[in-house]
Amino acid sequence: MTGNDIVAAASALTEETYDNTTWLSWINACLDDLSQVAYRPGRATISLTAGTYEYDLPSGVQEVTGAVYKTAAGISTPLRQLHPLDMYSEGWKLLDKIVLQNIAVSTGDSLVVNYYRTLAHLTDLTQTPELEAQYHELIVLYCAGRSRQKEEELEERADYYNEYLQRRAYYAEVRRRQVAPWERPAQK
């Protein structure tokens, strides 16, 4: 479904019409909400400079899952994540930036950061959300709930929003099992 298809479906549910900017803001708000459970992998390579131990993360980082330090000679060393208050161990930690601690950084070295990223926003309604097609109905329900909230028809809003939350929970479980299959309950 494109953004236009989502708007048409939400409008059909609620019999409400709004300007494209409003619909687009609701679609993007839904994508932000779903980003918390979508677990979209990302990877960035950060060039390091001697004497610098704090580096900006790429935009859209939801959660850092690991980091590997690579020397200019090509030697890779996985680093462990440190507690923000740990001042003595070797590894990385997140403050406002990713911070390397007790590592001899040289110019030409790099840091490969693996992370889960946010879902990309739509810039216009002709685009398709990067959510799997079978879950586009989540966005329709979210927009329908927001539409009813704006019109203060809270009973119908609650119905759409509760259905959204139930389906979001199912989507979260499906995605968790896809990215971490070892966490599945044992089969009897």
Q: Which pLDDT score is estimated for 154?
A: 58
CA atoms 155, 158, 163, 166: torsion sign: negative
Half-sphere exposure of 38 (CA within 13 A, CB side): 25
From residue 113, how far is each of 45, 64, 69, 100, 139 by CA, in Å?
6, 7, 9, 12, 30
Whole-model pTM: value is 0.82
CA atoms within 13 A on the CB side of 160: 24
Q: How far apart are CA 17 and CA 7, in angstroms?
A: 9
3-class state of residue 172 by DSSP: helix
Give the pLDDT confidence of 52-69 residue by residue, as tens digits: 999 999 999 999 999 999
Instruction: Identify the CA nearest to 64 among candidates 30, 92, 88.
Output: 92
In percent, how much of the chain has pLDDT > 70?
Answer: 91
Reported as a single tens digit per residue, the pLDDT across 1-45 is 999 999 999 999 888 889 999 999 999 999 999 999 999 999 999
- In 3-state terms, what secondary structure has residue 72? coil
CB 92 within 8 A of CB 101: yes
Beta strands at 76-79 and 61-70: parallel, antiparallel or unpaired: antiparallel
119-175 tens-digit pLDDT: 999 999 999 999 999 999 999 999 998 887 765 555 655 788 899 999 999 999 999
**Is 105 a residue whose pLDDT tops 70?**
yes
Query: Do 69 and 76 form a contact (C-beta atoms < 8 A)?
Result: yes
Distance CA 9, CA 58 (A): 34
| Alpha carbon distance 174, 150 (integer Å) | 31
In degrees and rounded to multiples of 5, residue 76 shows phi and psi of -105, 135
